[in-house]
A and B are shown apart, each in its own frame.
Chain A
Amino acid sequence: MRLVIAEDLFLLREGLVRLLEAHGFEIAAAVDSAPALLEALLEHKPDASVVDVRLPPSFTDDGLRAAIEARRQIPGLPVLVLSQYVEQLYARELLADQAGAVGYLLKDRVFNDDRFADAIRTVAAGGTVMDPEVVAKLMGRRARDEPITRLTAREREVLKLMAEGRSNSAIAQRLFISEKAVGKHSTSIFTKLDLAPSTDDNRRVLAVLAFLNS
């Protein structure tokens, strides 16, 4: 699986390259600025990319903007965005095109390299991976009169894990229920959020988006 990595700090960039190579990824390019990232993404069309939000030249959200721009030109280009902090606002912007294949994680999540590699694979396969902190913030909200409040506690749990990018079997394992039950819950979630029948992957993306927009 070919990756493009964008990170401006040399040590972190080298660390990421080494870690991902150890997990069997092939690094097509490792760049240190937003313009170079956009160029690399358009040129290599990688299976997935790992992008730091804050990059030169302006050291604000250049990485995020470059990733969104690349996805505008190549719809559905898999991007996993890393950041020192997570904002729902940015998560919404990433998901706004509804094409999926998006991840948004805190940099600390790299510590758990197995989960991190899984996240990259999920994104590459068209899934969505949201940081547990984003999800926790969403769960922290209350008293909002939106479709999301129609979900039962169990369905919310399933949606939460779905947003974190876990597969049905992983969700089943985590909640100590059968995979069939997870499937039932997710169908119920899709119905309650008024999501039209389509491929399961796409509906998962839309469910997460509805969740974020709630």
Chain B
Amino acid sequence: MGHAEGMYIGLLVVAGVALLAWRWRAVKSWAERVAWRPYREAGLLVGLLILAFCVVSLLTSNSPWAATVVVPVTVWLIFCTPQTVRRLAPVAMVVGGVVGVALTASRVSAPATYAGPGQGEWASAVAARYESWRAALLLESVVFLAVGCWLMWRARAQAATSVRRPRWGLLLPLAVAGVVLLVNQQEGHAAVTAAAALAGAALLIAILFPTVSADLAAVAVAALGLFSLIDVVTPPRGVAGAFAVTPGGTPQGPLYGAIDRPVVMLAAVECGAILALGAWLLPRTIGTHAKVLLGREADAELVGRVQQLTQTRAVAVDTAAAELRRVERDLHDGAQARLVALGMSLRAAERLIPTSPQAAIALVAEARDSSSKALTELRDLVRGMYPPVLADRGLADAVQALALDTPVRTETDIDLPGWLEQPVEAACYFAIAEALTNAVKHSGGRLVQIRIRHAGRPAPGVLRIEVTDNGTGGADPANGSGLLGVERRLATFDGILAVSSPVGGPTIIVMEIPCALSSRRTSSC
């Protein structure tokens, strides 16, 4: 077998990481859609169990198997623990990586010195497995260490809270599947191995592709746990097989010995925990869905959606009312007042014409001036309500016009092969205008870049707007109501706003609004 096993693990890890990175958005939305709490709680349980086992194993023997779990346990703990603990993620990862490297490099006892039962052919097989495990673990630990260092380096300027949840924590099921496969490599049990592998694959597919329901994932977890447990604890190679003795009392089981005992026990504990996780999940996924389907319980997703819609609708109504009040006030104090003044000037001029035409001319000039000012005010008002260039040309040109009017150099990169709906267009326009104003007023940057793209998937499509400035950063959406208002306004369209503004810059504002592009101009009124 030799190094092939290490290769398997390495390949599994690489494939898993690649898959997760590729489908990360899907994984995230899946994680948000399913009730994540059971995973986290059960995961915490698994992690603690394995950690306890690990510590005991480290303290009582020279076993290298403890090292096999240091890395995944740390990942799992980070992944499952609350936010406050997760802040220590980079540190924990570095520590875990160092421990892993140290253990694999030093504490593995040389198989040549092994003097327990079952020497000879079996001992050389164990030696070969040692080598492959060492290689795999070393690789794993080094990767872990590197990622930890990278995260620490990246987080140096930012608050500890901004550390992202490590994506590959989800890989533990894969690692377990790998362990099960390895244990099974020795002999027989082909059907069970295949079933376990399939269950693991189903689980991964369910996680990676959100179209597959969470129910399938729960079933897969339970099935994986059950099959693995049966496989591990039944003779001839399981826990029972490992300790089998001949009728004469001589140790006979191939795993009888100081070295392999922990790994079998570990596998059993892991498999048991996976089974427990599956059992925990089943009523929470299939059970809940069944209740919803039978009409006994409100669909939590729909309830949440209704709440969100109620909230955003209230905001939209408030915003519209406030806007109307502003327009009314502006008209009252501005154009209306000017028109009154204009009328009065004209009336006075009318009276003055017979007696002093010179004074009348001055008054008429004043009236003309007044009408000019009224027009200017009306123009500004209209621009604030619905900018004419937006009405004429749509978002792309309106943003271009905005960029031209911005005192700081502003580059636009807009690719919109169709028209947006007008309300969405207006919301986007004012959001960009606000971001630009902030960049000009507060960032101190010399260049602003606006990038607008539309993606067709997921349906109905997503409009993505990025406004980047090369200023000093440190923008906080919670501080000052501008961006907060934009966020609320976008929420009416299920849009979101994210701000990244580390001290020292750059500031990147990203907005995403789900919306479709149409080939023709459409109007809602």
B365 to chain A, nearest CB (A): 10
- B393 close to chain A: CB less than 8 A: yes
Residues on A with C-beta less than 8 A from B392 are 53-54, 60-61
From residue B444, how far is it (CB to closest CB) to chain A in Å? 10
Please give, as numbers and ranges, the residues of chain A lying within 8 Å of B389 by CB-CB distance. Answer: 85, 87, 89-90
List of B residues within 8 angstroms of A144 by Cβ: 408-409
What residues of B have a CB within 8 angstroms of the CB of A111 in the complex? 368, 371-372
Using CB atoms, name the residue of chain B closest to A212: B404
- Contact A60-B368, Cβ < 8 Å, known A89-B404, A140-B407, A143-B409: no
B residues 365-414 touching A (CB-CB < 8 Å): 368, 371-372, 375-376, 379, 382-383, 388-389, 391-393, 397, 400-401, 404-409
CB-CB < 8 A to A88: which residues of B?
401, 404-405
Are B401's CB and A87's CB within 8 A? yes
A141 to B393, CA, bound (A): 24
Work out how many contacts link A and B, with CB atoms closer than 8 A.
Answer: 53
Residues B409 and A85 in contact, CB atoms below 8 Å apart: no
- Are A108 and B407 also in contact (CB < 8 A) when A60-B392, A89-B397, A89-B401 are? no
A90 contacts which chain B residues (CB < 8 A)? 389
* B446 CB–A CB distance under 8 Å: yes
Q: Using Cβ atoms and an 8 Å threshold, which residues of chain A touch B368?
A: 111
Interface residue SS majority, chain B:
helix
With contact pairs A111-B372, A143-B409, A143-B446 given, residues A85 and B404 touching in the complex (Cβ less than 8 Å): no
Determine the distance from Cα of A142 to Cα of B407 in the docked complex, in whole angstroms. 6
Q: Which residues of B sit under 8 angstroms from A87, Cβ to Cβ?
A: 388-389, 401, 404
Bound complex: CA A54 to CA B382 (Å): 15
Chain A residues contacting B379 (CB-CB under 8 Å) are: 84-85
A85's contact among B383, B397, B406, B407, by CB below 8 Å, is which? B383
Q: Are A108 and B393 in contact (CB under 8 A)?
A: no
- Mask, B148-177, CB within 8 Å of A = 1, is 000000000000000000000000000000
Measured between beta carbons, the chain B residues less than 8 angstroms from A61 are 392-393
Interface flags for A68-110 (1: CB within 8 Å of B; 0: not) read 0000000000000000110111101000000000000011100
**A48 CA to B372 CA in the complex, in Å?**
25
Given contact pairs A85-B389, A106-B375, a sample of 8 additional A-B residue pairs in the complex whose CB atoms are under 8 Å apart: A54-B388, A61-B392, A89-B401, A111-B372, A137-B405, A141-B407, A143-B407, A143-B409
Q: How far is the CB of B361 from chain A (nearest CB, A)?
A: 15
| Those of A171-187 within 8 Å (CB) of chain B | none
Minimal Cβ-Cβ distance residue in A for B371: A111
* CB pair B388 A85 closer than 8 Å: yes
A60 lies within 8 A of B446 (CB)? no
Measured CB to CB, the nearest residue on chain B to A53 is B392
B375 neighbours in A (Cβ, 8 Å): 84, 106-108
Nearest chain B CB to A95 CB, angstrom units = 13
Q: Give the residue name and chain of the A residue nearest to B400 (CB).
A: A89
- Chain B residues with CB under 8 Å of A54's CB are 388, 392
Residues of A103-141 contacting chain B, CB below 8 A:
106-108, 111, 137, 140-141
Residue of B382, B383, B392 ringed by the most chain A CB atoms within 10 A: B392
Chain A 184-198 near chain B by CB (<8 Å), digits 1 or 0? 000000000000000
Which of A53, A85, A87, A92 counts the most chain B CB atoms within 10 A?
A: A87
Q: How far is the CB of A7 from chain B (nearest CB, A)?
A: 16
A61 to B405, CA, bound (A): 19
Residue of A53, A85, A92, A144 with highest tally of chain B CB at under 10 A: A85
- A-B contact list, 24 entries, CB within 8 Å: A53-B392, A54-B388, A84-B375, A84-B379, A85-B383, A85-B388, A85-B389, A87-B388, A87-B389, A87-B401, A87-B404, A88-B404, A88-B405, A89-B389, A89-B393, A89-B404, A108-B372, A140-B407, A141-B406, A141-B407, A143-B407, A143-B408, A143-B409, A144-B408
Q: Bound complex: CA of A156 vs CA of B372, how far in Å?
A: 27
Q: In the complex, are the beta carbons of B382 and A85 less than 8 A apart?
A: yes
CB of A106 to closest CB in B, whole Å: 8
Q: Annotate A126-166 by CB proximity to B: 1 below 8 A, 0 otherwise.
A: 00000000000100111111000000000000000000000
Which single residue of chain B is at the shortest CB-CB distance from A58?
B521
